[in-house]
Structure 1
Amino acid sequence: MRNYQPEKANLTHYLFFTGKGGVGKTTTASATAINLADAGKQVMLVSTDPASNLQDVFKTELTNKPKAITGVPGLFAANFDPVTAAGEYRESVVGPYRGVLPEAAIRNMEEQLSGSCTVEIASFNEFANFLTDPDVDQRFDYIIFDTAPTGHALRMLQLPSAWNNYLSENDRGASCLGQLAGMGDKKAMYEKAVATLSDGALTTLMLVTRPQKASLLEAARAAQELADIGMNNQQLIINGTLQEPSDTASQAIFEQQQSDLQQMPASLQKLIQFEVPLRAYNITGLNKLKLVLQAQQPSLTTYPAIENNYPDLDIVVADLLRTNKKIIFTMGKGGVGKTTVAVQITKKLVAQHKTVHLATTDPADHLEFFNTADPAITISHIDEQQVLKDYQDEVLATARQTMKSADVDYVAEDLRSPCTQEIAVFRAFANIVAQDDSDVVVIDTAPTGHTLLLLDSTQSYAKEVARTAGEVPQSIVDLLPRLQDPNQTEIVMVTLPETTPVYESLRLNNDLDRAKIAHTWWVVNQSMLATNTAHPCLQARAQNEVEWIEKVKAISNDHFAVEQWQPDFEQVLLTI
């Protein structure tokens, strides 16, 4: 596999970097931009990521207008804040109804427009303006976007029903209907933006991944979603490959990376592939960003050892036992290890003579490694795809009774949104909790606060507002008050000691605050610091973790734990 060198990668005018949170999109996009600018090109770098740290990378205050980067002639950067844009967009839709509809209806509308779908559309609106600006097009040789739009958002924009009166008339539909309300005047601009994205002579999709199974699977999913709307010019960048293992921890990581890369999804194997080796320094500041993609690297640096004095998961479990919690969720973005933490909590509770029902959406073949012979443990595996399909079929069957074909297509696409998946899975979880057959129910993957508020507001105000998330089952109606009872429920926030996962967790944290759901404890998972590794590259990563562990410590008011890196899910199950 070749090292990634932008000037030799046959890049197009527009470059879109995409991948899971924490894979290094911003670092890779920024290093690419600097590399091209140093080669004498005029380069525009734009971030549309809600967790963007582009301002920190360049130590420059950025807005949604191009700003020259000091120290890199030819490089300009802008930072679109999709969360702010989503708030402005939400008010543009809701504002005209204030004082006209009841306050309860207004609250429902606001919640309908508070989810990830609205952020996606508002984000696309921001960069579609930029993407279709002829002055920008002519001024720069390369225009680089840190974070590509999702395939779901783009497909939705292509559907005829997104642009008719259906959105204001629908009374049947799915989880996030309403996010395109008020954008009817943008159709021509969006069509031009989508056409540009699907033109392989103009646009390249740069899929950034870690050499890890979960990250590779997410890259394959994103690649397929975007290929479905015509973005077929794709390249794969594997970021953070370990080169020369030298101790126990680094050897385990090296073997795990190689194993996961050998089992890479077939769709990714067909793509042009590059790698960016793991570097033995923290990639911060212009000097390190200029260096990271160069073939010639400085000699390895040995970092002083950092003593790991942080508490582990035992402190969390002790508090769960002391407070006698009945419902425990693990919550976090994909790939942070929610299932592993849920299994560890289960084992530790059983060791303290509790009976536990563990519910998970993790693939069933992983759970065969789990000791299910213990009579104190029962397990429910929820097939996420099946429960989603069942929910989609249910809503579509109702829609087909009253809607035109084009409108049904719109509902079908809306049902592919992240909100819909959360609701479908949560319904299955609600049925499990309703059984109440154990002392404690431990659930891998909690619903976001937005989903809970959406379900709650729909149940209460569906008669007042046309938009609805579908019929809410009694099991969910009964469960919502229990989830808001801190004496019964605890949500354990799981994150990684890295920039993007921590910022993403903060947004989930705010969601739960809005929904008034108890979430005292945080777990910083997969910590390299906690392994006490002596490998220079891994020591560099361990040094970088301290800032984010300390941030979690502050956010959680010292209610946190740090769990060390483990090579894979199966090994964790076999060793706990």
Structure 2
Amino acid sequence: MFPKFEPLNMVFTPYLFFTGKGGVGKTSTASALAIHLADKGKKVLIVSTDPASNLQDVFEVELSNEIKPIPQVNGLYACNINPEEAARKYRERVVGPYKGKLPESVITSMEEQLSGACTVEIAAFDEFTNLLANPSIKKEYDHVLFDTAPTGHTLRLLQLPSAWTEFLNESTHGASCLGPLAGLEGKKELYANTVDSLSAPDETTLFLVARPDESSLKEASRASEELSSVGIINQCLLINGVLRTHIQGDTVSEAFWEKQHKALSRIPKGLKNRSIFETQLVPYSLTGIQSLRAFFSAEETKGIAFSNEIKSIELPQFNKVINDLEARKIKVIFTMGKGGVGKTTIASAIAVGLAERGHRVHLTTTDPAAHITNVLGKETVENLTLSRIDPKVEVEAYREEVISKVSNELDENAIAYIKEDLESPCTEEIAIFRAFAEVVSRAKEEIVVIDTAPTGHTLLLLDATNTYHKELERSTGEIPESVKELLPRLRNPQETEVVIVTLPEATPVFEAKRLQEDLIRAEINPNWWVINQSFFATETTDPVLRGRALSETSWIDMVGANLAKHFAVIPWTKDDIIGQKQLKEMVQTKG
């Protein structure tokens, strides 16, 4: 549908950034392009700042933050900045001077302020700024590729004037991600120069990487708009993993092809004025130099060794999840995972399964793109009631509340900081969490199933803020009673279960692993993982999809052996919202 991405016919800027949702293929496309450029005689550096990066797995070589050559590819060098380690050092730099001088609870609050995704991203930005601003790097390499670009939110924060005051350090306006900016003193000019470099079309190209599905393309459109707002306008859309042919008579192959082409025909308007290219879906794992060299050329795949012989693995059925939740008499059930993994469908299936067994169930969601009424269909389900929390309404109410409490005490610069801070993902989580708290109170009378749970960081942030208020003998009015009551409830394994939802692929599994670690840090221990949309669990004969199925086995093994206490696997289906009939079939399967 769109031109094939053919690097041989393209001219590239010195800096190339790859951004997109987890699992869209940023690392593999960036790595394949890096090899191509090096093979053409360029000296190339590829840098990853993605906490879920598998860059060293792709190149099959150990990497660190030290630049090192890649064997078998003359002229190619790589480093893997560990953003978690960068964030740890960042936290220590900010909090360290106060240890032993402030109460331990205050230190805990400060550390949790600096434990969110925003801090990780800003710390990573701090690391790769050193590469962008280093004149010797620019002189030595023809191209520098970055696996993962900063978001528009982070760049806007860095562009704002310095306004970190004593008031903000002791602010009680609510849980916030503003804390990361505490470590930026003295670097404003450096960051400004970096942002200018990112905005220069002759220096930087941004590749928006997406899968050919509606959710991924919508996320790419949002990122495009957000980054354009800070002046990064030299953007290309790279649609990764397009199935170019399909097998007639293979229902999975036909449905997969049809679903992709339907999504591509509905590309958001904001992306249509970008240069758009596509890459093929390949039947082999994109690890190792040989497979990466072949990635951009279908003709070269003949030499790639892959097998479509599917080995035997026991796949626990989804019904086992329902059986366990019922047996343990769990009253509050969250589904949790990154966008696009199918949380709404899984939450709906759990709710239908329990309602079908005679339990009174209330199902609620915050996903604006996955209305529960569409998931369940028009027919009502006995014993099941529905509601939807509108994220826009909740976030706007939270923002207004925060701004109103500080507007008379801060100058314009400080208010600008807070307003931008309130654009962060954590703000949405906290605002929605407060709304969830009211819904969960229904668990006294019925089972409550909630699509999308707060992260462990959000829970600890709210908890730390509450402790901080107690320590300073300040009012805790900013945290509603329902929220304070909910924290202990979520930590009670006899009452609450978090079901982690993932896909059988590298990045979604690694991201789900981090989510679980985050929850465990907050004293919440998930029992169940659900691996959704598995080709391995289908009977497709399509050679490309069978190759994909084989590549899933290592991730299914990892989840079952190392990450989950219990897990279930759901086969790939054509529709993200599979309807009430299919939901009932899912939960009625004997397990």
Q: Which category of TM-score, normalised to the shorter sequence, fits these structures?
A: over 0.9
Change (3 A) 1:244 1:250: same
Aligned-pair CA distance for 1:405:
1.3
1:344 corresponds to 2:346? no
Q: Which residue of 2 aligns with 1:357?
A: 362
Q: Distance in 1 between matches of 2:280 and 2:401?
A: 47
Partner secondary structure for residue 298 of structure 1: helix
Q: Which residue of 2 aligns with 1:538?
A: 545
Whichever residue aligns with residue 193 of structure 2, its letter is K
Q: Distance in 2 between matches of 1:332 and 1:468?
A: 34
Q: Distance in 1 between matches of 2:233 and 2:196?
A: 12
Whichever residue aligns with residue 429 of structure 1, its letter is F
After TM superposition, list the pairs within 5 Å mapping 1:426-465 onto structure 2. 426-436=433-443, 438-462=445-469, 464=471
Q: Distance in 1 between matches of 2:293 and 2:361?
A: 52
Aligned-pair CA distance for 1:445:
0.4
Q: Which residue of 2 aligns with 1:333?
A: 338
After TM superposition, list the pairs within 5 Å mapping 1:5-404 onto structure 2. 5-161=6-162, 167-168=168-169, 170-172=171-173, 174-246=175-247, 247-299=250-302, 303-307=308-312, 309-363=314-368, 366-369=371-374, 370-371=376-377, 373-404=380-411
Change (3 A) 1:222 1:557: closer
Using the TM superposition, name which of 171-180 and 383-392 deviates more.
Answer: 171-180
Aligned-pair CA distance for 1:469:
11
- For the aligned residue pairs, the C-alpha RMSD in angstroms reads 2.0
Partner secondary structure for residue 138 of structure 2: helix
Q: Is the 8 A contact 2:332 2:443 kept in 1?
A: no
Q: Is the 8 A contact 1:291 1:297 kept in 2?
A: yes
Whichever residue aligns with residue 13 of structure 2, its letter is T
Aligned-pair CA distance for 1:489:
0.2
Using the TM superposition, name which of 382-391 and 322-331 deviates more.
Answer: 382-391
Aligned-pair CA distance for 1:173:
5.3
The number of equivalent residue pairs is: 576
Whichever residue aligns with residue 497 of structure 1, its letter is P
Normalising by structure 1, report the TM-score: 0.96
Q: Is the 8 A contact 2:344 2:370 kept in 1?
A: no
Q: Which residue of 1 aligns with 2:589?
A: none
After TM superposition, list the pairs within 5 Å mapping 1:511-526 onto structure 2. 511-526=518-533
Query: What do residues 202-260 of structure 1 show as CA deviations (whole Å, max 9, x unaligned)?
Result: 10100100001111111111111111111010001100101111111010011111111
Q: Distance in 1 between matches of 2:344 and 2:279?
A: 29
Whichever residue aligns with residue 360 of structure 2, its letter is T
Q: Distance in 2 between matches of 1:386 and 1:551?
A: 39
Partner secondary structure for residue 51 of structure 1: coil
Whichever residue aligns with residue 98 of structure 2, its letter is Y
Change (3 A) 1:574 1:362: farther
Which stretches in structure 2 are left out of the alignment for 5+ residues?
Answer: 584-591
Fraction of identical pairs, as percent: 50
Q: Which residue of 2 aligns with 1:490?
A: 497
Q: Is the 8 A contact 1:48 1:147 kept in 2?
A: yes
Partner secondary structure for residue 186 of structure 2: helix
Q: Distance in 1 between matches of 2:475 and 2:430?
A: 13
Whichever residue aligns with residue 517 of structure 1, its letter is I
Aligned-pair CA distance for 1:305:
3.3
Query: What do residues 478-534 of structure 1 show as CA deviations (whole Å, max 9, x unaligned)?
Result: 111111110000000101111111111111111111111131110111111001211
Aligned-pair CA distance for 1:166:
6.1
Aligned-pair CA distance for 1:5:
1.6
Query: What do residues 438-484 of structure 1 show as CA deviations (whole Å, max 9, x unaligned)?
Result: 42100000100110011111112125479999911111011111111
Q: Distance in 1 between matches of 2:154 and 2:382?
A: 46
Q: Distance in 2 between matches of 1:352 and 1:509?
A: 29
Which stretches in structure 1 are left out of the alignment for 5+ residues?
Answer: none
Whichever residue aligns with residue 338 of structure 1, its letter is K
Q: Is the 8 A contact 1:175 1:468 kept in 2?
A: no
Q: Is the 8 A contact 1:85 1:126 kept in 2?
A: yes
Aligned-pair CA distance for 1:104:
1.2
Partner secondary structure for residue 106 of structure 1: helix
Q: Is the 8 A contact 1:454 1:469 kept in 2?
A: no
Partner secondary structure for residue 353 of structure 1: coil
Q: Is the 8 A contact 2:27 2:55 kept in 1?
A: yes
Aligned-pair CA distance for 1:186:
1.4
Aligned-pair CA distance for 1:308:
5.2
Whichever residue aligns with residue 292 of structure 2, its letter is L
